Amino acid sequence: MEELVKTVSDWPLIIQGALGSGLFWLILLIGQKLSSKLADAFSSYSSKAKEDQLNILWQKYAGLKAHYNGDKQLSTNFQVGLLYQASRAFFTGLIWFALGLIFNSIIPILGIVGYLGFIFYLFKSLGCVQRIEKTDPEEKLKEISEQLREIQLNKQRQSDD
């Protein structure tokens, strides 16, 4: 890599400028294509993310309801399930962190991407074990179930079109 930089720095300035402009244009072109693909993927992923978040919230309130009803076994099962989901996100974040450390030595911007992925998954993990409002779990479960039903209906409508 150092040899490539030394070779290019020995070239005339006009050629270095043209090479830099061409490289910038190529990065811009690839970035635009990639961002449009990611926007398409994220639009379908965002409803999935919303559904996942509602499912986690449903598990929290179902566990709280079981606790209020005195069913310690069911309450514990929900808690263990939430811890499992949190640990999956946490370990995925650790993989992102490790990749960030590895790629940071090669291309520093990829290290930053790895660290941002790590932070994203840490927050996702935290969301699984965060506190909830101590309101009536029965009402919240009905509300969340209705929202989940709406998401399922929207999915069916989209698949029918």
Q: Which letter does DSSP use for residue 70 in this model?
A: T
In the block, which residue shows the tokens 């099962």?
A: 77
CA separation for the pair 24, 31 (Å, rounded): 10
pLDDT on residue 90:
95
Calpha distance 114→105 (Å, rounded): 12
pLDDT < 70: residue spans in the chain: 31-45, 161
Q: What are the tokens at 114?
A: 């790895």
Query: Quick count: other Cβ atoms within 10 Å of Cβ 40?
Result: 10
Contact 146, 103 (CB under 8 A): no
Give the per-residue pLDDT at 39: 47
Residue 32 structure tokens: 């635009």
Q: CB–CB of 145/107 below 8 Å?
A: no
pTM reported for the whole predicted model: 0.65
